[in-house]
Chain A
């Protein structure tokens, strides 16, 4: 069977800027594939190429077996897309937009009416269906955007940062809908996100993208296992930062951490925690806070890029270790 998404050496340049730098991607039928990376990593540019909105500068990509450049019209018939920032006309009502979308896809009126009602109900917008979209909240617009992407029963669904800016309740509701689509209908989903939890919760496989390149790819658990040791994060008195780093590096490699904090991959895990505390105490380091976390996708990202994804954490400050 043809892979729903297959990209080889995909490149996109904007002048001198290389936004996507040779991406290879293979998404299997019925898979939810997460594309994880910070802002500007190249996620949306990749999606725009895969959905025919942008021409690749080099490389090839096929969606549902169709070439995104030479068979763009065929690609558009079989994909559903919810772009970043819910692109919806605020002057129209939700029902009118669904109807318009159905006409553009050539769906007969009777079927489009039934399907429109069903989708509105599924995304919880039946009551607001005849209100202008301009009066919708951010979460309602996202849900309508998803319904619009589904009206023609696409084979492949692209969701570009679908929950950015949503409150936790709306985010969970959208996750549920993605799970349902994938579970009940087997829809293949490519989801871009900058949220680690979202990728962890929804995706069967993920690709971590940074600087236009895929730096890690695989199942989330396997990627986390590959990181190995858990991360020990330590918050100490600022005056003791250098001394604390000297002590900590004896217990594992220094990992990227937020400014003013330290993190290491604690070799031996939780069993060595007491030993660390004693060593810090012996060195006269005043501890403000300490936490030990099992490897996360953030650790995977940090290990691959040298930076933290979550909370805009910065690379670790260079630490002078006396010798």
Chain B
């Protein structure tokens, strides 16, 4: 039993293995994924009941149901809740030492980070499909289902990757589950200070100003236009581009954090 004469490990195979482990890890811990499916639906149901009549306000987008209006918010909420699991898992790995075992293997750093993010994105896609299915049953409508589903799935996956990368970055910097959870309210505050739950133009004041410069508003508005109007290339591109930009920024941060943790 000497001399490791194995071929050089494949970075793709390593990333797939890490992604598989991430997905398994989440699925085996229901507290990690049940709330990310249940809470957005609950919030959606409450909001729809409370604010359905606001659809009659002048300037409110023309939608068949408040559920349709809230569809982007529901998806973003779910993705924010679900994708932080990637950061939680990374922090737990650091705390219990499993991260050291991964680093001690001849594993590419791209696979170490990429695997987790692919796992996050896969779960993000599942969430989007789940929310679309449930809300469709209760009356939410996509003007062009094919385009709508495609754009929502792509944006959901990109945002899951972005939030996953950001939370992993926090985990790598701090090595603490508490720190990862501590950042979660920031994501949620950003969601509430956007057009996700109510048109900012109808609110006016500082809220409208803040929402107009919030990247989440740009994503939500793009998604909403695709949902309501059908295939609108400019709107779809806006939602995808902003999500992609956030993803690139978060991956850059996570890469820096990984380098800092490994270079100890």
Chain A interface (Cβ < 8 Å from any Cβ of B): 51-55, 73, 76-79, 81, 83, 85-92, 96, 100-101, 103-108, 132, 148, 150, 152-155, 181, 184-187
Contacts and interface: CB of A to CB of B under 8 A. Distances in A.
Contacts of A52: 104
A273 B25 CA distance: 65
Contact of A106 (B6, B21, B98, B263): B6
A53 B104 contact: yes
B264 A53 contact: yes
Contacts of A90: 96
A100 B9 CA distance: 12
A101 B104 CA distance: 10
15 contacts: A51-B104, A55-B264, A83-B100, A89-B25, A91-B25, A91-B28, A96-B24, A103-B14, A104-B102, A106-B8, A150-B1, A152-B4, A153-B1, A155-B2, A181-B1
Contact of A78 (B3, B24, B29, B264): B3
A281 to B, nearest CB: 56
Contacts of B99: 87
A110 to B, nearest CB: 12
Given A53-B100, A181-B1, 19 more contacts: A53-B103, A76-B104, A78-B3, A81-B104, A87-B101, A89-B93, A91-B24, A100-B21, A103-B14, A104-B9, A104-B14, A104-B106, A105-B6, A106-B7, A106-B13, A152-B6, A153-B2, A153-B4, A185-B1
Contacts of B18: 100
A77 B105 CA distance: 7
B10 interface: yes
Contacts of A181: 1
A92 B21 contact: yes
Contacts of A54: 264
Contacts of B3: 78, 153, 155
B4 A104 contact: no
A122 B264 CA distance: 35
A119 B99 CA distance: 22
Given A150-B1, A155-B4, A88 B17 contact: no
Contacts of A53: 100, 103-104, 264
A186 B1 CA distance: 7
A184 B13 CA distance: 32
B4 A87 contact: no
A78 B17 contact: no
A61 to B, nearest CB: 15
A155 B106 CA distance: 14
A76 B106 contact: yes
Interface string B104-118: 111100000000000
B59 interface: no
B212 to A, nearest CB: 43
A124 to B, nearest CB: 18
B185 interface: no
Nearest to B16: A103
A91 B13 contact: no
A85 B94 CA distance: 13
For the complex of A and B, list the 7 residue pairs with the smallest distance between their C-beta atoms, beginning with the closest: A87-B97, A106-B9, A185-B1, A104-B105, A103-B17, A77-B106, A76-B106
A151 to B, nearest CB: 10
Given A91-B29, A104-B107, A106-B7, A187 B96 contact: no
A270 B17 CA distance: 63
Contacts of B17: 100, 103-104
A181 B2 CA distance: 10
Interface in B51-96: 93, 96
Nearest to B108: A73
Contact of B106 (A89, A105, A108, A185): A105
Given A55-B263, A91-B25, A153-B3, A105 B98 contact: no
Contacts of A185: 1-2
A100 to B, nearest CB: 5
Nearest to A87: B97
A181 B21 CA distance: 30
B259 to A, nearest CB: 12
B29 A105 contact: no
Interface in B1-59: 1-4, 6-10, 13-14, 17-18, 21, 24-25, 28-29
A76 B103 CA distance: 9
Contacts of A89: 21, 25, 93, 96, 98
Contacts of B9: 103-106
A79 B2 CA distance: 10
B97 A103 contact: no
A154 to B, nearest CB: 7
B97 A85 contact: yes
A55 B103 CA distance: 14
Most chain B CB inside 10 Å of its own CB: which residue of A77, A89, A105, A107:
A89
Contacts of A55: 263-264
Nearest to A29: B2
A157 to B, nearest CB: 10
B6 A107 contact: yes
B4 A105 contact: yes
Given A53-B264, A152-B4, A154-B4, A73 B96 contact: no
